[in-house]
Amino acid sequence: MPVKWVLYWQPNQGTTVSTQILNEATQCVESINGVKEGRWKATLNYYKPMLRDQSNHPDLPRDFLGISLADQPSKYYFVIRSQRIVVEADASIQLIMEKLQSYKSKVSLYFDGFQYQLGDFRVRVGRVVPVHSESVRGIVMEVEYLPISSMEKSRKVMEEFVEIWHEALSKRSLSGKFVNIELNFGEFGLADTYTPQHTGVQYAIVMAHMIATVQPARG
Amino acid sequence: MHHSQLLHTPADSANNQPEPDAPPKQVAQAMERLNQASRAIADIRLGADRIFEAMFLTSHPRNSTDMSLQLLLKKDASMRQHLQDLSSIGKKLEESGVLTESLRLRSNTWDLHMPLVCPDGAVVAYAWKRQLAGQAGASAVDRTRLALKAFTDQKKRFFPHIDDGVKMEPRLKKHRASHSLLEHGGGEMFDYKTLPDIQSRLEKLVTNVKVSTYGRLSWLKRADSLTGSGSDDDPSEASKLVFQSSSKMRSGLDDEVSDKVAVIELYVPSVFRAVVSLNPAGSVDPDSVAFFSPDEGGSYLHARGFSAHHVYKHITEHASTALQYFLGFGTGSALYSLLLWVCSFESLFSKPCSKCGRLLAMDKKSALILPPLHRTYQDLPLDANLDVCEAYHCGCSPDDS
């Protein structure tokens, strides 16, 4: 599977994130010869256990999230960041969880944006929107380098691409920047060859950072 | 493999011919069966509605339960019939090769192992089908003649050893060459003209590159077995020349005689896979070279094929220029120079351009962001470190090709 980096928009101190940033970002992709391929959608859910007696199970993890990825439509990925666990399941697991009533989704988020092809790179930019709401919670960007699947070998290529991206964006004088988080995939038991589980882990970390540092926009 | 598949096809009552049908008729039959399948599916949908209707009626007490039960049973029987029809159509489609994975579609009933790739790189189910489509206006005789020509051209190109009477000479030459190697005991003499020498020399100079040799048919099999996501670290199943001991050497030669080396694969894990073809097979004359992603697989992976990725496509174009340059010397060292030069691409994703100092740059001609794809091929250091080989972006290259 091609290597992918997941970046998120970090607004400057005191500013908020909005759909305008997404528009600027998509225009910027087109300015570096990106070809729009279509819409991009994904969903992410935070789960909490449904227990009769809440107090007796203090050791159940509270950052249990599940994510569906656009390029793996028949699968669903679970990540428990605090315990460094990532698991791949069939997409029907969501239905099973609903029937069992074991876990309930307490927060649901949509990723909604566009997908672009730039030669051997594939870029997806989208806004993060809570379900049943119009407010933008953040902006997320995926960068894929299609020819290779080794994290190590692709590192320099990805770094330089992000530099090119930053350069192109800086011309638009936006108040913030896209940030890539350095991750130790080994902690999650993942190897050098890229897999969808790597994507799941990246999203878990990105969401944690986003919730901690980005103020939700109003309206 | 293809014969056994024919034998297992049970006799179809509607089709008593001992010969399998010609492919155009097979296609027509398959279309007909697919239509039947879609009619059966529509019947099943209607049948499901009827069953719901019947169940609704039975649940209402004012209708006579006996009558509605009869209705339900009737609907159930007709539904089962439809499902059975669908399943038998499905079986027929499977047998005729329509409903199987694409690999089985290749079982060509004309008993020729046709590759899926035309010389110009197009992928088709039957090579001659494309030929026929292009000549739709021509008469049947012309079509047959053209198809026959396509067959023989491809046969000559891919299977030159069939009814090729000149097998003895190259075999003897190789034998002699290998014996001289044994006598010298792997000493200082380096002969660019023998494949075993070249291979062992390369393996010493560039330790990260895996060099393997294949006969044409075994390469075809290997290319197909390389699936998209495979990280293939062990090409040893293929016919690899081994030089450790004289007895092994002899058995290696026996393999070679029946399947002459026609393809050399250079694999750098996670960076690239290059395919070089030799023409004629068993010689040391390179014919063409192509680069691919290490994760690519399929029958289009051959020395005249093109990768699905821009970076490898561009390198392949640049490589054909380099090949012509090496061949231009006429000293017979073209293969060694070419393989050495190909190995310099080990640094494809790490070595920045010697002119602009960056790894990635926007290529003006193609409007794509690419790493430095050019490596200098003039004055190639044949014995020394390949790091001196300079890397350039297409636009930065002093060659300005």
The 3 state secondary structure assigned to A54-107 is HHHCCCCCCCEEEEECCCCCCEEEEEECCCCEEEEEECCHHHHHHHHCCEEEEE
List pLDDT tens digits, range A113-156. 999 999 999 999 999 999 888 888 899 999 999 999 999 999 99
List the pLDDT tens digit at each of the 401 positions of chain B: 444 444 434 444 344 444 556 767 777 887 888 888 888 888 888 888 888 887 887 777 666 677 778 888 888 888 888 888 888 888 888 777 666 555 344 454 443 444 455 555 555 555 556 555 555 555 677 778 878 888 887 777 777 666 544 333 343 344 333 333 333 333 344 566 778 878 888 888 888 888 888 888 888 888 888 875 444 444 443 333 333 233 334 444 444 444 688 899 999 999 999 999 988 888 888 889 999 999 998 889 989 999 999 999 999 999 998 998 888 887 778 888 899 899 999 999 999 998 888 999 988 888 899 999 988 888 777 766 667 778 888 888 776 54
**Structural domain spans, chain A:** 3-50+61-218
CA–CA dist B311, A153 (Å, integer):
15
pLDDT at B123: 55
Inspect the interface and report whether the beta carbons of A148 and B229 lie closer than 8 Å. no
- Nearest of B104, B107, B105, B132 to residue B118 by alpha carbon: B132
- Residues A173-208 pLDDT 10s: 888 889 999 888 999 999 999 999 999 999 999 999
**Contact of B296 with B308, CB cutoff 8 Å:** yes
Which residue from A minimizes the CA distance to B228?
A: A1
The nearest alpha carbon in chain B to A119 belongs to B368
Measured between beta carbons, which residues in chain A are less than 8 angstroms from residue B391?
none
What's the burial of B77, exposed, middle or buried (CB within 10 Å: 0-12/13-18/19+)?
A: exposed
Instruction: List own/partner pairs for B27-31 with CB under 8 A and 24 or more apart.
Output: B29/B96, B30/B93, B30/B96, B30/B98
Query: CATH second-level architecture of A3-50+61-218?
Result: Beta Barrel (2.40)
Report chain A residues whose CB lies below 8 A from the CB of B373.
none
How far apart are the C-alpha atoms of A75 and A70, rounded to whole Å? 10
Q: In chain A, what residues touch B350 (CB-CB under 8 Å)?
A: 153, 156
Name the minimum distance, in Å, from the CA of B388 to any CA of chain A: 20
CA distance B196 to B184: 14
Number of C-beta neighbours around residue B191 at 10 A: 16
Place of tokens 């020395």: B303
Of the residues B369, B370, B373, B394, the best mutation for testing chain A's interface (the one with the most A CB atoms within 10 Å of its CB) is B369
Instruction: Kindly identify which residue of chain A lies nearest to residue B372, measuring between CA atoms.
Output: A157
- Give dist(CA B163, CA B297) in Å, integer: 31
Instruction: Report, as an integer, the average pLDDT of A87-99.
Output: 90
Q: Provide DSSP, A9-54.
A: EEEPTT----HHHHHHHHHHHHHTT-EEEEEEEEEEEEEEE--SSG
With CB atoms and an 8 Å threshold, state whether A161 touches B360.
yes
Cβ distance of B309 and A146 shorter than 8 Å = yes
CA distance B236 to chain A (A): 22
Q: What is the complex's ipTM, to 2 decimals?
A: 0.88
- Does B368 sit within 8 Å of A33, measured CB to CB? yes
| B369·A161 Cβ contact <8 A | yes
Burial category of A81 from C-beta neighbours within 10 Å (exposed 0-12, middle 13-18, buried 19 and up): middle
Closest-CA residue to A121 (of A35, A22, A21): A35
Greater model confidence, A76 or A217: A76
Burial class (CB in 10 A: 0-12, 13-18, 19+), A127: buried
Give Cα separations from B354 to B312, B388, B389 (angstroms): 20, 11, 10
> Chain A closest CA to B226's CA: distance in Å?
14
